[in-house]
């Protein structure tokens, strides 16, 4: 029994670490695409840089919120007390 309790902690921590990594992939794909297209847009119309930058930050913040929330979930799993 104690056996499986502790194996549990192992799987939990493994999931927290891998999960944090996958969160970063999501944030990278999403914010990266937004930022990349914004760079292209500013280069094409430099006088619209302000407008593009404002919209870029608003939409990227949405991905940021979800990502930080997800990383905090992984952090809570990582900081869990597994000493039964």
Compute the least distance from the CB of residue 79 to a copy of itself, in Å: 7
Compute the least distance from the CB of residue 27 to a copy of itself, in Å: 4
Compute the least distance from the CB of residue 39 to a copy of itself, in Å: 4
Per CB under 8 A, contacts with a copy of itself among 24-63 are 24-49, 51-63
User: Do residues 38 and 52 lie in contact, with contact meaning Cβ atoms separated by under 8 Å?
Assistant: yes
Q: Could you identify the residue written with the tokens 């930022």? A: 35
């Amino acid at each position: 029994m104690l056996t499986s309790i502790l194996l549990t902690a192992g799987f939990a921590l493994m999931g927290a670490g891998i999960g944090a990594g996958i969160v970063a992939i999501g944030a990278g794909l999403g914010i990266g695409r937004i930022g990349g297209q914004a760079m292209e847009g500013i280069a094409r119309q430099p006088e619209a840089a302000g407008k593009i930058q404002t919209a870029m930050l608003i939409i990227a913040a949405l991905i940021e919120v979800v990502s930080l929330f997800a990383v905090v979930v992984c952090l809570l799993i990582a900081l869990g007390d597994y000493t039964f």
